[in-house]
Amino acid sequence: MKRLTLLGFLLVHAQAAPSEQAIEHVPVQRVIRPGVLVEGTPANLNASITVRYGSKSPETILLLMPGYLGGAGSFDRLARQIVALDPKVAVWAVDRRSNLLEPQNQIRFASRTQLETLAREGLPVRPAEKLAFMQDWGLTTTLGDWRRAVLEARKITPKVFIGGHSLGAALTGLYAAYDFNGERGYNDVKGMVMLDGYPGLLSGNPVTPEEYKTGATNMIGPLPGTDNLGNNPYVNAFFYGPGLASRAAAQARLAAQYPDDPAPEKAFLNWPATNLAAAMTTISQRYTFVPFLALTTGHATNVRESPNPLPRFLGGKDSQRITGPQDTAKLIGWQGDERSLTDARDFARRFWTPLSDATEWYFPQRLMLDVAAARLSTSGTPYEKTLPVLYNAAVPLPLLGISAENGVATDNDFKTYAASNIKDLTLHTLPGAAHLDMTYAKTDQVARWITQWLRQHE
């Protein structure tokens, strides 16, 4: 295991932080290429999608996989920071193929009035029976699509790395150990970057073959088995689903364009609030119901609060429930503070862009079922042939593991994973960070750790 050397520390910190103007001037394009062929899937959805930041002919390419329910847009700030710090590096952020199911133009071209309606009502959700083909969009499909992009990157430069955030970090390790018809994933790349996640995250207890068919459970909740995936192909839970995702995209656009104006009535808050407050109370570490999908962005103003036991039961710290405004004649607002790693307005602006958004509206249940079954390795299990994640030998790749202090991964998690699998481990922790601050934080610390590590391992 390695920590940052003195020379490395000096090299990283000697360089001035890139300006916001430099970050915004990073070139970016969305590229859709053919993905792996899945029987029954419409041809246009067999796709490998990347949002590419930086030069078209870089010396190094880092491909980043988003986390659970995440889209390529979740890397927008971090990717720009990395390229601004080192223009020789390009970052290719992955959109999984289900992002193509999102009618984003209805968000993009909506008027303000239409956005307000969408924030309340959302877009119509595609019927499950019309998307039954998603039942085959599991680990093999996801890694296969990703590999198409990796192999394309290798035609540009031999210096190709993979990484991810949260579930994307777990998928990074699974890619490295995956047997692609006799070719091991670790031979495709030069190293791995894991951001507040690791293989085995969210897996829970081992999944039996019977559970794999009839239904299982992971750390988040119940998972439909293969017998039921045709009727339940995508995540549609109380805390997330396509309807809520489209509402969030609309509210984010309102927060980005009209942050201090009144939010649509009873869209995300039951009391009069600004657009920014309505957007941030759903994802702020202080107020969210899902503490592992949270940011540190500040707090609501002009509010009355009370402790919220449900998020605390799920691991939240100091979780609060808004019970109303202090002054009913004024709007509930939003304010950053000294503990805020992520700027609320910057987050709202990046949550939805014309090229990509931060979420995956129709997240395939099959992917989570396969991840739960694969866990860290399928060697010697009933899934060895169908999900060939084979850790029968150490993965000969260096690993950079970066955890959020208040996130879901720790140094010990990375050390446990690396003990029998990785020979070259570098660790860092982002102080004060919640899980989603890893990619949205105002500081460029994570980007600096990554660029310095890439230089050392090229």
Which of 322, 351, 380 is the endpoint of a domain?
351
pLDDT-derived band at 12, boundaries 50, 70, 90: very low
Q: Which of 31-40, 248-257, 377-386, 389-398 has the lowest mean pLDDT?
A: 389-398
Percentage of the chain beyond pLDDT 70 is 95
Q: 209 in a domain, yes or no?
A: yes
Say whether both 253 and 211 belong to one domain: no
Say whether both 176 and 252 belong to one domain: no
Assign residue 318 a region (left: φ > 0; alpha: ψ between -120 and 50; beta: otherwise). Answer: left
Say whether both 331 and 375 belong to one domain: no
Q: 359 in a domain, yes or no?
A: no
Percentage of the chain beyond pLDDT 90 is 81
Q: How many domains does the chain have?
A: 2
Q: 358 in a domain, yes or no?
A: no
Q: 1 in a domain, yes or no?
A: no
Say whether both 25 and 154 belong to one domain: yes
Say whether both 432 and 291 belong to one domain: no
Say whether both 440 and 453 belong to one domain: yes
pLDDT of residue 392: 64
Say whether both 173 and 294 belong to one domain: no
Say whether both 279 and 401 belong to one domain: no
Question: Is residue 3 scored above 60 in pLDDT?
Answer: no
pLDDT of residue 289: 77
Which of 306, 323, 351 is the endpoint of a domain?
351
- pLDDT tens digit sequence for 341-384: 999 999 999 999 999 999 999 999 999 999 999 998 999 999 99
CA angle at 385 for the pair 372 and 210, rounded to the nearest 5° = 50
Question: Is residue 4 scored above 60 in pLDDT?
Answer: no
Instruction: Provide the β-strand partners of residue 324.
Output: 304
Say whether both 74 and 194 belong to one domain: yes
The pTM (predicted TM-score) of the whole model is 0.94
Q: 360 in a domain, yes or no?
A: no
pLDDT of residue 315: 64
Say whether both 16 and 158 belong to one domain: yes
Could you tell me which of 412, 435, 444 has the C-alpha nearest to residue 425?
Answer: 412
Say whether both 44 and 153 belong to one domain: yes
Q: 397 in a domain, yes or no?
A: yes
- In order of 48, 167, 398, the CA distances from 148 in angstroms are 7, 20, 22
What mean pLDDT is reported for the chain? Answer: 92
pLDDT of residue 15: 65
pLDDT of residue 2: 54
Task: Return the sign of the alpha-carbon dihedral for residues 242, 122, 32, 402.
Answer: negative
- pLDDT tens digit sequence for 77-90: 999 999 999 999 99
Q: 199 in a domain, yes or no?
A: yes
Say whether both 163 and 263 belong to one domain: no
Q: Which CATH number fits the domain that encloses residue 156?
A: 3.40.50.1820
Q: Which of 200-209, 225-234, 279-288, 335-344 has the lowest mean pLDDT?
A: 200-209
Q: 278 in a domain, yes or no?
A: yes
Distance CA 203, CA 217 (A): 9
- pLDDT tens digit sequence for 221-242: 889 999 999 999 999 988 899 9
338 CB burial (10 A radius; 0-12, 13-18, 19+)? exposed
Which of 351, 383, 404 is the endpoint of a domain?
351
Question: What is the average per-residue pLDDT within 272-301?
Answer: 90
Domain span at 104: 6-239+365-457
